[in-house]
């Protein structure tokens, strides 16, 4: 579940499971898709397009988003600046909002500004693009500004030497010599500003295009829809549901009496990989009187695990029978600490007896309700001189 780094490709799993979220590099605008059934923690980086001719470098932004839900998210990749044109901004839009890495300005007689960034939305490590270097009327052209987390400004030329490109990807300015290059160098990927031409040069460097990179940090393969506990007769019944599962080996049920120190009290096998909704039940037959704290440790086949939220249940009942699930299409299970014979009776809400079944011992019972019409019924167990009952929904 942790630190999943993937190459862009289409990976299909058995049982019809969609490809899980993957790393993706965007050199053109598009959409980043997290398939249905997954949530992911991702890191996103964007470089704005570089400006042309002593142009500024594109801005650089980065953000890490936790537990991004399934969906399609807009990615915009800025173009590099052509003659007289500034670089275009790049951006990405996720549930927290839109973050923009601005394009570098085109060169002028002064230094061209680097691409700006979204000051509020951009994450730590984001940085505006480097400024383009100034040119000299009788000398070399100014260098283009750099773009990235450690961008620097373009260099200033001498009367004969072009200004150095700003790190890490600004284009060098043209050099005014009889043998050296006189045109400005293009900015390099990603987002570098183009170098200015020298006095005798004919062409200034173009700005490099931007880019957006999405890296998957982790994928949550088990979507836990609910986890609840309730006191019943003689036990605490824990129920939980998953929306999807991937590589899920099992759930380990843990209990604590102080909410801090937990120990395992049982486990339920997972179904591995599925996009179908799954329901689970576990009966703690030995809860302590007072507050019991429960949590689930979801364990993958590769040893990775996640913890659920903690569920607190107050238990103050004495008794010996529990019923689960209380909503079922067919089988109803009844657990008891009694070993004496038992009779199970099913009534409708008008009090009419619809079904009856006898058992040699009451400790583990199972009754089939599949032949009854859908509706609410009262199920009663008579055992050991005691009577226990529960309302059950048949669907």
pLDDT of residue 317: 62
CB 379 within 8 A of CB 362: no
Are 137 and 5 in the same domain? yes
**Domains contained in the chain, number:** 3
Find the length of the chain.
Answer: 395
Q: Which residues pair with 226 in a beta bridge?
A: 241
pLDDT for 180: 58
**Does one domain contain both 201 and 309?**
no
Contact by Cβ (8 Å): 143, 74: no
Q: Which CATH number covers residue 295?
A: 2.60.40.10
Same domain flag for 146 and 230: no
| pLDDT tens-digit series, residues 95-108 | 889 999 999 888 76
Instruction: Going from the first residue of the chain to its last (395 residues), give the mean pLDDT of each consecutive group of 10, the final group possibly shorter.
Output: 27 40 94 82 92 85 89 94 87 93 78 81 88 70 79 81 84 72 83 81 86 87 84 88 86 92 95 86 89 91 85 72 85 82 91 92 88 93 83 92
Task: Identify which of 151, 161, 215, 156 has the alpha carbon closest to the alpha carbon of residue 188.
Answer: 151
Give the residue numbers spanning the domain of 94.
1-220
Q: Pull the structure tokens for residue 42.
A: 């991702």
pLDDT computed for residue 335 by the predictor: 79
Let me know whether 228 and 284 are in one domain. yes
Reading the block at residue 139, the tokens are 């000398």
pTM as predicted: 0.56
User: Does 98 share its domain with 230?
Assistant: no
- Clarify whether residues 122 and 38 are in a common domain: yes
pLDDT given for residue 268 in this prediction: 95
CA–chain centroid gap for 92, Å, is: 15
| Tens-place pLDDT, residues 302-359 | 787 888 999 988 786 655 577 888 889 999 988 776 778 999 999 998 888 999 999 9
User: Do 335 and 205 share a structural domain?
Assistant: no
> Residue 339: what pLDDT?
76
Residue at a domain's end among 292, 319, 346: 319
pLDDT at 14: 29
- The distance from CA 240 to its chain's CA centroid, rounded to whole angstroms, is 21
> How many helices (DSSP H) and strands (DSSP E) are in the chain?
0, 24
DSSP 20: P
HEC-encoded secondary structure of 183-210: CCCCCCCCCCCCCCCCCCCCCCCCCCCC
Q: What's the maximum distance between 2 C-alpha atoms anywhere in the chain?
A: 111
Same structural domain, 106 and 134: yes
Mark which of 183, 205, 220 sits at the end of a domain: 220
Among residues 191, 220, 249, which one ends one of the domains? Answer: 220
Closest among 334, 338, 333, 379 to 356, alpha carbons compared: 379
Same domain, 110 and 166: yes
């Amino acid at each position: 579940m942790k630190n999943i780094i993937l190459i862009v490709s289409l990976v299909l799993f058995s049982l019809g499971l969609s490809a899980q979220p993957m790393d993706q590099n965007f050199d053109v605008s598009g959409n980043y898709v997290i398939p249905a059934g997954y949530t992911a923690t991702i890191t996103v980086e964007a470089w704005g397009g570089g400006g042309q001719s002593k142009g500024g470098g594109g801005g650089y932004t980065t953000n890490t988003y936790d537990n991004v839900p399934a969906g399609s998210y807009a990615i915009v990749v800025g173009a590099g600046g052509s003659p007289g044109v500034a670089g275009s901004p790049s951006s990405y839009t996720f549930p927290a909002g839109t973050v923009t890495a601005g394009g570098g300005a085109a060169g002028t007689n002064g230094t061209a500004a680097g691409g700006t960034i979204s000051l509020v939305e951009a994450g730590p490590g984001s940085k505006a693009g480097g400024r383009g270097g100034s040119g000299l009327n009788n000398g070399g052209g100014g260098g283009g500004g750099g773009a990235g987390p450690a961008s620097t400004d373009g260099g200033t030329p001498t009367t004969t030497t072009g200004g150095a490109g700003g790190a890490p990807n600004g284009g060098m300015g043209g050099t005014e010599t009889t043998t050296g290059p006189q045109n400005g160098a293009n900015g390099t990927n990603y987002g570098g500003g183009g170098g200015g031409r020298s006095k005798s040069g004919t062409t200034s460097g173009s700005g490099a295009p931007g880019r957006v990179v999405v890296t998957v940090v982790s994928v949550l393969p088990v979507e836990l829809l609910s986890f609840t506990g309730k006191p019943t007769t003689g036990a605490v019944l824990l129920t939980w549901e998953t929306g999807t599962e991937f590589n899920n080996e099992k759930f380990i049920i843990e209990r604590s009496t102080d909410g801090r120190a937990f120990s395992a009290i049982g486990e339920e096998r997972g179904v591995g990989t599925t996009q179908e909704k799954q329901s689970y039940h576990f009966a703690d037959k030995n809860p302590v009187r007072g507050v019991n704290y429960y949590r689930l440790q979801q364990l993958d086949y590769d040893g990775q695990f996640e913890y659920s939220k903690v569920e607190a249940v107050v238990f103050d009942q004495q008794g010996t029978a529990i019923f689960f699930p209380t909503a079922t299409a067919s089988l109803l299970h009844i657990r008891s600490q009694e070993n004496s014979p038992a009779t199970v009776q099913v009534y409708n809400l008008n009090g009419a007896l619809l079904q009856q079944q006898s058992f040699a011992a009451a400790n583990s019972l199972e009754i089939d309700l599949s032949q009854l019409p859908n509706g609410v019924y009262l199920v009663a167990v008579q055992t050991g001189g005691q009577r226990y009952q529960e309302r059950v929904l048949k669907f």
